[in-house]
Amino acid sequence: CFMVTPYEGYVAVAETLNRITPGSFEKRSVLFNSGAEAVENAVKIARSHTRKPAVVAFEHAYHGRTNLAMALTAKSMPYKSGFGPFAPEIYRAPMSYPFRDGLLDKDLATNGAAAAQRALDIITKEVGADNLAAVVVEPIQGEGGFIVPAEGFLPTLARWCRDNDVVFVADEVQTGIARTGAMFACEHEGVEPDLICIAKGVAGGLPLSAVTGRAEIMDTPHVSGLGGTFGGNPIACAAALATIDTIESDGLLQRARQIERLMKDRLLALQRSDDRVGDVRGRGAMIAVELVKPGGAEPDPQLTAEIAAAAHAAGVIVLTAGTFGNVLRLLPPLTISDALLGEGLDVLAGLFATR
């Protein structure tokens, strides 16, 4: 337990995360085991710093399966149904969802600042900055369907938070550690969050998570207010250091961008030939296909489930996602070869052709 006996690996991981996360300001890092733990502790830190209770999350959000994380999560089934009551003082704002926003307002589909203002109008009226500790957002929503907000959405939110003493928390549990072609997805628009939640890929499959953020915010909780017996265990710390070293030395940020081009070329071609493919979106090796009924935008969760099951049977791991259950999400490893990636995409194209 690091809180009892500090050890070198924990310190090395904290120093590394302080280095690779966005922002040149002084930082601190604290380590945990899971993404949900990271999110819960980010909220604790934000509340401690601001002395305010409320937290805003977004439509289609997923933040974990612990009680507070479930409260922040939007979708009921399978994540929340039957597990309440949930933590109070959680509020929800509309997310920038370009594909579906464009069905109602073409401007919202491309104008992220306008989409952010739509959310901020609700936040200011229903919560109020004086009551708000934190805004928690995934730079690209994961379980929500790999929703990439319109350009300008995240910077506008972050700017408003800075101006109103609200902690801006980026949940990079799924998007972080090179997945999107940058070390962290918020870097694509130059956003420097106050706090970043990190997990999943950081330790190459071993249980490790972190909150990294501005020193003046991270230093607010009292001594021993944050921690846990197994947070930052030595084996996971060693794996994290090796993982980050491999990403940097093997050029895996560039590789993620190459994977994006390969997947989007194939999937956009599929969209042009099949009107059931409503949207192709994502960044890096985090790409999604949203399926709809032919000739419209009505979600088609049945076809989505059929394609995913058939892909599994053919040896291609494809997961479903999205509030409506109509999104196929593709998360190939950054080490995948072009040939193997092409083989998997061939399987997907064949499944669409036979249905």
Instruction: Average the pLDDT over 166-183 and give the result.
Output: 99
Q: What is the pLDDT of residue 3?
A: 74
247-274 pLDDT, tens digit each? 999 999 999 999 999 999 999 999 999 9
Q: What is the pLDDT of residue 4?
A: 80
The overall longest dimension of the chain from CA atoms, in Å, is 62
**At 339, which CATH number?**
3.90.1150.10
Residues 342 and 195 in one domain: no
pLDDT band at 38 (very low <50, low <70, confident <90, very high): very high
Residues 175 and 282 in one domain: no
Residues 200 and 115 in one domain: yes
**How far, CA to CA in Å, does 239 sit from each of 6, 207, 233, 245, 246?**
18, 10, 10, 10, 10
- Of the residues 227, 249, 271, which one is the last residue of a structural domain? 249
Q: How many domains does the chain have?
A: 2
- Of the residues 216, 233, 249, which one is the last residue of a structural domain? 249
Residues 345 and 225 in one domain: no
User: pLDDT above 70 covers what percent of the chain?
Assistant: 100
The residue ranking higher by pLDDT, 296 or 19, is 19
Residues 12 and 112 in one domain: yes
Residues 303 and 226 in one domain: no
Residues 275 and 239 in one domain: no
Q: Which helix (H) or strand (E) holds 287?
A: strand 286-291
- Say yes or no to pLDDT of 144 above 80: yes
- Residue 231 burial class via C-beta count within 10 angstroms: exposed 0-12, middle 13-18, buried 19 and up: buried
Residues 93 and 137 in one domain: yes
Residues 113 and 155 in one domain: yes
**At 205, which CATH number?**
3.40.640.10
Instruction: Classify residue 1: in a domain, yes or no.
Output: no
Q: What is the pLDDT of residue 2?
A: 74
Instruction: Average the pLDDT over 183-198 and give the result.
Output: 99
Residues 199 and 267 in one domain: no
267-295 pLDDT, tens digit each? 999 999 999 999 999 999 999 999 999 98
User: pTM higher than 0.75, yes or no?
Assistant: yes
Instruction: Classify residue 3: in a domain, yes or no.
Output: no
HSE on the CB side for 204, CA within 13 Å?
A: 14
Domain of residue 298 covers 252-353
214-224 pLDDT, tens digit each? 999 999 999 99
Instruction: Classify residue 2: in a domain, yes or no.
Output: no
- Of the residues 188, 223, 249, which one is the last residue of a structural domain? 249
Residues 321 and 271 in one domain: yes
297-329 pLDDT, tens digit each? 999 999 999 999 999 999 999 999 999 999 999
Chain Cα centroid distance, residue 5: 32
